[in-house]
Chains A and B, each alone.
Chain A
Amino acid sequence: ILNVEQSPQSLHVQEGDSTNFTCSFPSSNFYALHWYRWETAKSPEALFVMTLNGDEKKKGRISATLNTKEGYSYLYIKGSQPEDSATYLCAFESNTGKLIFGQGTTLQVKP
């Protein structure tokens, strides 16, 4: 059974703080690592798909890194804003086309 773990489960920060979350995944049969942003009452939306060890991706104030050898990825948010409040999901893609999601990190940014 593939296990994808995210930490922390939840996080409360003040507006302007920078923060980061962790996603741990199996290092075997790795194809890609996905990050999604999920706002309450909406559907998840993709942030990044990373495939190569050492990959770094950036979108505005959000960035992510990937270490496939040790099986982890970090998501960073610089200068958090209230609109960043959401649940952030990572998903491990195996060579079967299957995606296994972690339980998510719920971020609350207080103004």
Chain B
Amino acid sequence: DAGITQSPRHKVTETGTPVTLRCHQTENHRYMYWYRQDPGHGLRLIHYSYGVKDTDKGEVSDGYSVSRSKTEDFLLTLESATSSQTSVYFCAIRPRDYTEQFFGPGTRLTVL
């Protein structure tokens, strides 16, 4: 298995609070991604990173920010969580172009 972990695995929070999800890899892979999974939508890309301090937006980036100060960590922050951000969040890593992605175990976030 690719060395990729996500924390926390489950979180319940209230509307308006900030939330940070962490993705950690031990593979030294270049690319890291954050997706959200919602019924009827499959996997939608939030943000991704192609190197330390290099990030770009995905399809559904509004309300989310990311940071990657080290190769191994990619943080996803919800500055002020809303109920529409209740979802399962998956992190993925990839060594380079044309290669498969390896997914983390997911984080289930509930915003009340």
Chain A-chain B contacts (Cβ-Cβ < 8 Å), number: 56
Residues in A36-81 with C-beta less than 8 Å from chain B: 36, 43-46, 49, 51
| Chain B residue with the shortest CB-CB distance to A9 | B40
Q: Is the CB of B44 within 8 A of A101?
A: yes
| Chain B residue with the shortest CB-CB distance to A96 | B56
Q: Is the CB of A46 within 8 A of B100?
A: yes
* Cα(A43)–Cα(B104), bound, Å: 7
Q: Is the CB of A102 within 8 A of B100?
A: no
Q: Which residues of B contact A97 (CB under 8 A)?
A: 31, 48, 50, 94, 97
Given contacts A43-B106, A99-B33, contact A93 B45 (CB under 8 A): no
Q: Determine how close the nearest CB of chain B comes to the CB of A9; give it in whole angstroms.
A: 9
Residues in B1-57 with C-beta less than 8 Å from chain A: 31, 33, 35, 40-45, 48, 50, 56
The SS class assigned to the A binding surface is strand
Q: Determine how close the nearest CB of chain B comes to the CB of A20; give it in whole angstroms.
A: 19
Q: Determine how close the nearest CB of chain A comes to the CB of B24; give it in whole angstroms.
A: 15
Q: Is the CB of A102 within 8 A of B42?
A: yes
Determine whether A103 belongs to the interface, using a CB cutoff of 8 Å to chain B: yes
Determine whether B74 belongs to the interface, using a CB cutoff of 8 Å to chain A: no
Q: Is the CB of B106 within 8 A of A31?
A: no
Among B31, B42, B45, B98, contact of A49 (Cβ-Cβ < 8 Å): B98
* Cα(A100)–Cα(B35), bound, Å: 10
Q: Determine how close the nearest CB of chain B comes to the CB of A5; give it in whole angstroms.
A: 11
Q: Which residues of A contact B (CB under 8 A)?
A: 1, 31-32, 34, 36, 43-46, 49, 51, 89, 91, 93, 96-104
Given contacts A49-B100, A51-B98, A100-B45, 19 further A-B contacts (CB under 8 A): A1-B59, A34-B101, A43-B106, A44-B90, A44-B101, A45-B103, A89-B42, A91-B101, A98-B45, A98-B48, A98-B56, A98-B58, A99-B33, A99-B101, A100-B59, A101-B42, A102-B42, A103-B41, A103-B42
Q: Which residues of B contact A (CB under 8 A)?
A: 31, 33, 35, 40-45, 48, 50, 56, 58-59, 90, 94, 97-106
Closest 5 CB pairs of A and B: A46-B100, A43-B103, A103-B42, A101-B43, A104-B42
